[in-house]
Amino acid sequence: MILNNTQEFIFDISRPGRTAYDLPDSDVPAYDLASELPAYLNREREADFPEVSELQLVRHYTALSNRNFGVESGPYPLGSCTMKYNPKVNEVIAAFDGFNHIHPLQAASSSQGALQLLYELKQYLAEVSGMDAMTLQPAAGAQGELTAILVFKAYHEANGDGEKRTKIIIPDSAHGTNPATAMVAGYDVLEIPSNPEGTVDIEALKEAVGDDTAGIMLTNPNTIGLYEKDILKIADIVHKAGGLLYYDGANSNAIMGISSPGAMGFDAVHFNLHKTFSGPHGGGGPGSGPIGVKKFLEPFLPEPRIEKEGDRYVIKDDFPQSIGRMKGAFGNFGVNVRAYAYIRAMGPDGLKQASQDAVLNANYVKARIAKYYDEPFEAFHCKHEFVAAATRQRDQGANAKDIGKRLMDYGIHAPTTYFPLIVPECLMIEPTETESKEDLDYLADVLIQIAKEVEENPELVASAPHKTPVKRLDEVGASKNPILIYQKEAKE
């Protein structure tokens, strides 16, 4: 880790005796933990921590933060991730003492405000999704997926169909977590192809469904940014076969207040509160992936649950058909508070406007760059995101990955590349609704400029980035031979 502009590692300026804190003397008796641990859990050597002053420590982390890229740094068009700006008022509200200092095991009688917030958040999310009941437990989208599929499994088992319904149908354009979720839940995955328009192949779906169908996992709009216009037909085909429909909520920023998974025929949905509802996003978490279900699936939701009795909020855990607890307490509480603040600030009209603006922004950028990148599917318009293909740039000497790296030289984060897998040299671009027209024009101008650079000097793009603190990385080498701790010999 580099400290500052001197390019020194924090370990290099370490001096014995320097401290960045002053703790009171411990009044707890010393305990030799090492003697109680099995030998294989003991360190081979003592942990080597740098000894620096408080000012040196602050400068170190400030320098590191300046090297990070975030939504506050520049455009972040990471497709299917909805990297929208998070209003800072949400952070202020989440830091209120009644939220920030509460304990998850606190008695319900002393946490009524927090329980009211969670109860009302469930109601809001149920209305937006067109579902009847919600749980806030899942910690992120992937866990929300797993929770929903386990609810499906419990439903089929309760009906005596658990043994025969062994397959989950997933389109070939699905998020990678979808097949992983189905496998973890104990299902076999049956992939179906997209049609030439980039949507679900109805005939392939008809051939795939049967008595062994437990359900289908898809999102709408799909990962190509196109609306599944046959969604009601898809729902009818799956339901007639006895299966259930699960809605991956990663792309729900396109439909708030315009449509809902419930209206489309889905039986369960997860939301990414850290995407659609402006919670913190990135850095490995925390996230929040609550799920909603139709009424007939409510008995199987996780417990405990918050219910309202009169003017009081109570916690109950007596639900014999529940799949049990998926996460401690009621999920990542701080993220839920931020989502609640966002929804209350926006209101139903604001949420709808956000989706409308997200769709408008994506279509604007799509139209601006249309002459410079290939379009894998001929669609008049997209939803909140769109897919462009860098196939002609690949043939000229620079691929989609190189273009993503080159964008960093212009202060723009790379879009999602090579996903979905069905699009060669894929660039999946989602500008979100929070970007201004000037920023959208800058994004489009840079993408056009890079396309011209590839034509004139492909090596310039193929070797990017050039202006970032860290240049092109050996990503394969870093994955196969990670160095996770500071070693002086490794630095040299």
Strand partners, 170: 191
Pick from 311, 345, 379: which residue ends a domain? 345
In a domain, 280, yes or no: yes
pLDDT at 285: 62
As a whole number of Å, the CA-based R_g of the chain is 25
- Could you give the number of structural domains in the chain? 3
CA–CA separation, 300 vs 150, rounded Å? 9
User: Is residue 176 very low, low, confident or very high in pLDDT (cuts 50, 70, 90)?
Assistant: confident
98 with 35, same domain: the answer is no
Residues 335 and 394 in one domain: no
Per-residue pLDDT, 314: 96
Nearest to 403 by CA among 436, 421, 429, 439: 429
Whether residue 433 sits in one domain with residue 459:
yes
What whole-number distance in Å separates Cα of residue 40 and Cα of residue 17? Answer: 31
Residue 9: give the domain boundaries: 1-67
Q: Are residues 251 and 388 in the same domain?
A: no
8 Å CB contact between 77 and 429: yes
Using an 8 Å Cβ cutoff, are 132 and 293 in contact?
yes
Enter the pTM of the model: 0.91
Same domain flag for 275 and 378: no
Task: Examine the domain organization and report whether 124 and 265 are in the same domain.
Answer: yes
pLDDT, the chain, mean: 92
Q: Within this chain, do residues 38 and 94 fall inside the same structural domain, yes or no?
A: no
The total of other beta-carbon atoms located within 10 Å of residue 299's CB is 17
**Are residues 319 and 173 located together in one domain of the fold?**
yes
Does 448 map to a domain?
A: yes
What is the pLDDT at residue 488? 65
Domain check: are 341 and 363 in the same one? no
CATH code of 174's domain: 3.40.640.10
152 and 269 in a single domain? The answer is: yes
Provide the percentage of residues in the chain whose pLDDT is more than 70: 96
Domain boundary among 321, 345, 369: 345
pLDDT tens, residue by residue, 335-358: 999 999 999 999 999 999 999 999
- Same structural domain, 310 and 405: no
Are residues 295 and 362 both part of a single domain?
Answer: no
Taking the C-alpha atoms of residue 346 and residue 367, their distance in angstroms, rounded to an integer, is 29
* For the chain, percent of residues with pLDDT exceeding 90: 79
Q: How many CB atoms lie within 10 A of CB 149?
A: 25
**pLDDT bucket at 489, cuts 50 / 70 / 90:** low
* pLDDT tens column, 204-220: 999 999 999 999 999 99
